[in-house]
Amino acid sequence: MLVYEKNSLSEEIELLIERFGKDRVALLPILQIIEKRHNYISEFAQQEVARLLDIHPVEVYSVVSFYNFLHRYPQGKNIVRLCKTISCDMAGKQEIEKALKRELGINFDETTRDKKWTLEYTSCLGMCDQGPAMLVNDKIYTKLDPETAVKILNDTK
């Protein structure tokens, strides 16, 4: 990371702490925003959050590593999360799975080279009456078929 990038990240985290308070309870909301903006939480970001919240960096690391939606390594700009739980599976998840892999040219738990897309599985999204379902960033899409799934990717670009 370049020096000016580090400085701007530090500044960004300081602003977040101003907004959420210098308090342990602010940790998760702060990490959620960093993840959203940068598509991961770098080691440097973790250290800065720890320093500014006055807690040990290991504490931040252990929180980041616990939650599925927080990442320690760079993810794609867009994250596609396909539900793999049984109701969606029965509704035709496998076909969507194939279509997504084919379209993006990657496997699940991988990121495209241009860092635009990451494919992940997720547990039940609470859309089981309308499966197969997937989450693309913050948005949920339901009743997918291979064609609509690919169209959603294209529309998201």
> In angstroms, what is the minimal distance from the CB of 1 to other proteins?
24
Is 124 a binding residue for ligand FES by CB under 6 A? The answer is: yes
List the structure tokens of 102. Answer: 């084919």
Closest CA to 88 of 145, 19, 48, 27: 145
* Minimum CB distance to ligand FES smaller for 11 or for 129: 129
Which lies closer to other proteins via its Cβ, residue 6 or residue 89? 89
User: Which tokens is 61 given?
Assistant: 């690391």
Contact (CB, 8 A) for 16 and 34: yes
In this structure, the dihedral spanned by the alpha carbons of residues 41, 79, 111 and 45, taken in order and rounded to 10 degrees, is -10
Closest separation in Å from C-beta 77 to ligand FES: 24
**Binders of ligand FES in range 80-119 (CB under 6 A):** 83, 85, 87-88
Contact set for other proteins, span 75-114 (CB under 8 A) = 84-87, 89-90
CA atoms lying within 13 Å on the CB side of residue 63: 20
Rounded CA-CA distance 55/98 in Å is: 44
Q: Does 63 bind other proteins (CB under 8 A)?
A: yes
Find the shortest distance in angstroms from Cβ 10 to other proteins: 20
Q: Cβ-count burial of 112 within 10 angstroms (0-12 exposed, 13-18 middle, 19+ buried)? A: middle
Q: Where are the alpha helices (DSSP H) in the chain?
A: 3-20, 27-38, 43-53, 57-66, 86-90, 93-104, 146-156
By CB under 8 A, residue 69 contacts other proteins: yes
Residues between 17 and 36 that touch other proteins (CB under 8 A):
23-29, 31-32
Residues lying near ligand FES in the complex (CB under 6 A): 83, 85, 87-88, 124-128, 131, 133
Residues lying near other proteins in the complex (CB under 8 A): 23-29, 31-32, 62-63, 66-70, 84-87, 89-90, 122-131, 135, 138-144, 148, 152
